[in-house]
Amino acid sequence: MKKKYYTFILLLPTILINYVTLTILDIDHNLSLTSTLIVSLFNLINILFIILLNKTNLKKVVIIFLGTIILFITFDFSYQKYVKKNSYQIQDKKLGWILNKSIKKKFTAKSKKNRNYEIDYNSSEKFGFRHYDNKKIFDKTILILGDSFTVGPYASNDQMYFSEIKRIFEKNNLNYNWYVMGSAGWGTLQQYIHLKNNIDHIKPDILVHQFCHNDFYNNSIKIEENTYLRSQYIFRPFWVDKKIIYKNNLFHKLYKFLYTNSFVFKTIDNLITNKQYQKNKSYFKRNYSKEEYNEAINITDLLIKKIKYLVGDKKLYFIVDCYNKENVINKSFQKIFSENKLFGLTKPLIELKKAEEKGEDIFVFDGSHLNDIGNKIYGSEIGKEIIKIIK
């Protein structure tokens, strides 16, 4: 009788895992191979325990069970440590996450129009930089500061917009030391913190700040915590009441530990986030209020002021938004660069809109980030606008 009771208890996790997988995770019947293997392995282990229980005593089953759990956790944590070495980004206590160093990957990417193109991706030997000039051989320095539009794996380094800007500079006999800094998903506060940590070496004469409209949301703790992006808002630092704060209750600490160290937990959490996005067609659990958005704008304005102060009022501060066809010229963004007397670059966005309307192939598969062609247009227009101002 006891064995039947224990058998039923052991079957419950299997039933639950399969139910959640089929009803929540696999809503579009397109479960990834990794997820399928994880669920299948769990089912197999559970069935083996049930068989063992019915052929031997409970004490031996418990010992085998605990041993398997320890072995599984050891393998899981070790595999995640191995994966980290070649991940584009890794977790960071102060910044939440950061672009990994010394990443070198060659692969074939697909554009939104199903065109295959080759990507040769490299990050520098310093965390948080796609390019870092160790030897400052020129008198002047330029810093490119951005997020996934700058450091994401969507085009080779020499095809990215910052390389196009560099080519335009060189054609005009303008030689600068070059730094390309940022991480995918970073908000303005993370950019500021990392810049502050590296400003003494870089000391840019020109800053090109690649902004993005979602930075407004990223900079607001009230808006971010009402999204499905747990892996961002739980790690991200926020500027609240004139100080930097982190989400650090017991749940947040446990989540951070597991997401950082467990491959299985991280994979399942990312799968759930993707399924929640697909189901709701948005990362937002609810619509943010006008008051929350205005507060986000004010926080962003304050952080950009801090970046400008850090760089120096006499330095050239250019800022350019990422392309959004629904809102090509963001009024909130315009107001910020105008009031802070920054050089706001809008021509690149207008030219990208023209290219899209002509049917040009400018996006990667996600329809948002720029591919090699899109980066060429974006960088060419940025470069030409900067040259007009500094010449």
Residues 210 and 322 both lie in one domain: yes
Residues 41 and 117 both lie in one domain: no
- State which of 34, 62, 84 marks the end of a domain: 84
CATH number of the domain within which 341 lies: 3.40.50.1110
The pLDDT value recorded for residue 52 is: 67
Residues 73 and 95 both lie in one domain: no
Local mean pLDDT, 10-residue blocks, the chain (391 residues): 61 69 56 63 72 67 73 90 92 96 96 96 97 92 97 97 97 96 97 97 97 94 94 96 94 94 91 85 89 96 97 95 85 92 95 96 95 98 95 76
| 146 part of a folded domain | yes
| 257 part of a folded domain | no
The pLDDT value recorded for residue 125 is: 96
The pLDDT value recorded for residue 38 is: 67
| 49 part of a folded domain | yes
| 281 part of a folded domain | no
Inter-residue contact 371 to 361 (CB < 8 Å): yes
Token reading at 55: 């052929």
Backbone CA torsion sign across 126, 132, 136, 137: positive
Inter-residue contact 348 to 377 (CB < 8 Å): yes
The pLDDT value recorded for residue 61 is: 64
The pLDDT value recorded for residue 279 is: 82
Residues 44 and 122 both lie in one domain: no
The pLDDT value recorded for residue 327 is: 77
Q: For residues 268 and 184, what is the distance between their CA atoms, to the nearest angstrom?
A: 20
Residues 188 and 57 both lie in one domain: no
| 157 part of a folded domain | yes
DSSP states along 181-239: EE-TT--HHHHHHHHHHHHHHH--SEEEEE--TTHHHHT-HHHHTTBS-HHHHTT--EE
Residues 100 and 212 both lie in one domain: yes
Residues 309 and 189 both lie in one domain: yes
pTM: 0.85
Residues 95 and 76 both lie in one domain: no
Count how many domains the chain has: 2
Residues 62 and 105 both lie in one domain: no
| 171 part of a folded domain | yes
| 227 part of a folded domain | no
Residues 175 and 303 both lie in one domain: yes
Q: Among 266, 209, 253, which residue's Cα sits nearest to residue 80?
A: 266
| 254 part of a folded domain | no
> Using CA atoms in the order 127, 157, 191, 267, what is the torsion angle rounded to 10 degrees?
-70
Q: Domain range spanning residue 78?
A: 2-84
The pLDDT value recorded for residue 26 is: 52
Residues 370 and 306 both lie in one domain: yes
The pLDDT value recorded for residue 280 is: 85
- State which of 69, 84, 99 marks the end of a domain: 84
Residues 348 and 375 both lie in one domain: yes
- State which of 33, 60, 84 marks the end of a domain: 84
Q: For residues 316 and 334, what is the distance between their CA atoms, to the nearest angstrom?
A: 17
